Structure 1
């Protein structure tokens, strides 16, 4: 990974279908590749 990504989006509908909570401010998420290897961490800021 090079550089800094400034935005990530997901459809609100998909959270409802999967019965998952929406991200909360300050929450960290680990992004993985198709093999489950961690590639980066993102922080929800607003």
Structure 2
């Protein structure tokens, strides 16, 4: 398994990352999109508490 890394990016940068991933073939990036989306949602939910 690859070593995990933690990145800190702005909300605007996250949007740009998702836009860029959306231009790639879905079958190549759907797992990554899901993983990133889960992490973003967890952080947004934690901040709203």
Which structure features the higher share of strand residues? 1
Larger relative contact order (Cα-Cα within 8 Å, sequence gap ≥ 6): 1
Q: State if a TM-score over 0.5 links the two structures.
A: no
TM-score, normalised to structure 1's length? 0.26
